[in-house]
Structure 1
């Protein structure tokens, strides 16, 4: 998997090599998995696999609707089953390669391809931004519980017309959710820090684990305009924990549009502006330096 990464948005992978080691790099860091060991790669994590011993074979188990976790010990006692100390975890690393990568997304059983810079950049999946934008989940009006603790089947968030008083960056930060986002506006403000990229009555959809955030034009406006109280939008957000599928009628509609990635062109991770300072500190500490790709 040279210059290639995979992300499973459908479920967790349990991988057990039977022959040949697996050198696995994820957004959390690196893991060397040997025959006789197993590794769990949770849904939504981008990862690549290298084969230091040549061809490898083994077993892969994929699960849906839940995550792998340690069993409850119960009456078996502290040593009856696997303990946390029996497991290893990756050590955080940084990959600031700026060359082009291919990313394969598995969503609802389909394989989709995308090209972008390294998906294994630590610290963030996009830009590091200081903001004062409230999490829309705090506006949840209704929720439906799922069988997974802490994961709702769906949240309904209502954003009523309101005044925003901010002393920082306005649009939502670049992020990704373990749920989908389906957003629509009842009314669109004539002015304000946050200007939707679509009209009222139109639905905007972001699938599960898809990185997203304000467009380049929105970012520029928010940075340059004079901040003050703004009367903001009226709409609602539906956040299901499972991907949504579009009907053929919707997909064939002349109003169906996919986001043009050029709308985000020009945005750069602010972390990249500080690579020299980071390398200076790493050198002083006797640690390996960050190597920037071409």
Structure 2
């Protein structure tokens, strides 16, 4: 039975004991998605840089793209982070929405008001999330829900991706005909390990994200002085290796929705504010078909990243730590090499191993920020060339055998 997400926190001092908030300048982090003119082209970024100078998690935040307005509680944003030092006497919270954090390299040790979480690459973290089912088990992903304070500690240079939603919270997708088990199982989500900190006489900086801007306030004690809590509103992590893939076993490449780990639903049934989708190691067993993703145009914005290995539809040029954005109704699909390889390969059971790609998919039409377009210097201007060598294979005189498909490029347009 669903209930309103909330938690009671029993703390040594009320969190209201702090100085007034003041504006904090952070030129690479924004929720203003109107600054750059629209760009419908397929976009790809080479791996984002790790910091050369000391930078903590907050200082290493940068926004790639997004849509909507946090003041209206409607929209999404995609950020990346790159840091090489821990947040010392400093914490962060998001008053605008939820953060889903996907580490790509480097472990994160996270202090929260609810306890501690240790997150490794291939895990995700959600800060501010409510699940309509209990959370327990083993995990690798992190979510921080709206308003939760946390501090990121690192022992080595770290980099990753963040999906922010303004509307509601992430939840498990409806399984429908799949049944009770499959995809991300509730038992595999982990909540923080109990811990609190009672520290006085320190100059502690609290950073707030409010209406798309950053502010800071100072207080003389640790914000992690919660000695007990109970409720259903807390951060959690999830191990992507525990995802149970449900795949096509006869023909055709199934819709990415079968790889959905978490979703943030909209008010329109079947339409998501954002989905977090992964493409993990799996068996591919379809026959008489084209196994990679179809060439397609659809009504969703697709931001993809690669955590490790190679992605089957882009084996060259799409590197771990980089990203791509295919905007709604802009055509995209496998590059020339992937198409030719998939068209000629013998169709026998094949296991895709040593790879983990993901997608932030949204019904919002996302705009690229100034930093994403020019500031990061990672935009690949030659991305479009990966499709230019695709040849015409159609022969009007060719007559297929009973089990063969016509020699054309499969393409889907979907709304």
Which category of TM-score, normalised to the shorter sequence, fits these structures? 0.3 to 0.5
TM-score by length of 2: 0.31
TM-score by length of 1: 0.43
Q: Greater share of strand residues, 1 or 2?
A: 2
Structure showing greater relative contact order (alpha-carbon pairs closer than 8 Å, 6 or more residues apart): 2
Q: Greater share of helix residues, 1 or 2?
A: 1
